[in-house]
Amino acid sequence: MTHTIFITRDIPDEGIKMLKNEKHLKVDIFESDKPISRRELLKRVKGVDIILSILTENIDKEVMDAAGPSLKMIANYAVGFDNIDLKEAKKRNIVVTNAPHANVSESVAEHTIALMFALAHRIVESDKFTRAGKYHAWGPKLLLGTDLFGKTIGIIGTGRIGSGVVQRLHDGFDMKVLYTDIKRNPMLESQTGAKFRSLEQLLKEADIVSLHVPLLPSTKGMIGTQELKLMKKTAFLINTARGPIVQEKPLTRALMNGTIAGAGLDVYEKEPLIDCDPTDTLELRKLDNVVLTPHTASATIETRQAMSRVAAENILAFLRGDIPPNSIN
């Protein structure tokens, strides 16, 4: 029996090759670097057995209706899966999988630390300054930054990524570690001397606050005006988790007013918009004390190929009649 799969965006080729080698699987790919339009998505999923989606596609009831009763699996090319209506999928007995891999945690941890160093050493500002021909002589007060060695890192969420960030900063830069989570992390405490704090206390004490929690009703908007006011004026906020965890208007005001020293962001509240409210005059992009990247924390060749393989392995396991290794539901 031949099955059909629609892949909503061209992904790295290792997983694609694995799927195309499956004799009884017909592969259809939306081959573009740009997101598929809603209209095209609804058209292309009609009658397919499997959808391989990425996080920019909202796979909801409308998409499942468009696919019809043939749809039996949704394989998400992402670690997160908040773009998929899990309740609706469960009603229809549709298997949903994600694509976690150790490489993802490694890459995001590295990117998180890169944002910290870019802020502390004012790398982006210095690059712009130099390219603009403003560098005429060495100066003792030119673009002064701050050292990270010996500072205090505050981690919110100590899963693989958060723990990876902590381990590197503690071992390599002798940083003191504070953390908060839904439960204590004895291993992290024993390996790094990490101290458990309430969210409020962590915000008050940390020199850098880094977010590593999933997007849930309990975490949406968890960093807003009051939380930012608790932070040190010299502190940095880093978000490589999910954009809506941080309320962008209060953050922009805090950066403009000097409530905090800077922010490093890879995700945004109304992504892909960088400006969460085009009707006001607040714009993150105009601020020198923020470093912005376009949701590329996991964007390394090694990681994206690994995710491609994991997504394919989930699909091939399903086709064999096995439970996919990364089944969510």
CA distances from 155 to 150, 171, 194, 325 (A): 15, 15, 10, 29
Say how far apart CA 32 and CA 76 lie, in whole Å: 18
Q: How many Å apart are CA 28 and CA 30, to the nearest integer?
A: 7
Interior CA angle at 45 toward 82 and 272, to 5°?
40
Nearest-angstrom CA–CA distance, 125 and 291: 9
Give me the active site residues, please. Answer: 242, 271, 295
In DSSP notation, 263-297 reads EEESS-TBTTBSSS-TTSS--GGG-TTEEE--S-T
Q: Which residue has the tokens 């504070």?
A: 178
What would the DSSP string read from start to end of 216-245?
Answer: -TTTTT-BSHHHHHHS-TT-EEEE-S-GGG
The answer to whether 223 and 237 have CB atoms below 8 angstroms apart is yes
Rounded Cα distance between 44 and 30, Å, is: 9
Q: Following DSSP, what letter does each residue of 76-135 receive, concatenated?
A: ESSS--TTB-HHHHHHTT-EEE----HHHHHHHHHHHHHHHHHHHTTHHHHHHHHHTT--
Residues 172 and 15: their CA atoms lie apart, in Å, by 35
Spatial separation of the C-alpha atoms in residues 19 and 41, rounded to whole Å: 20
- One-letter amino acid identity for 164? G
Give the position of tokens 């749809």: 71
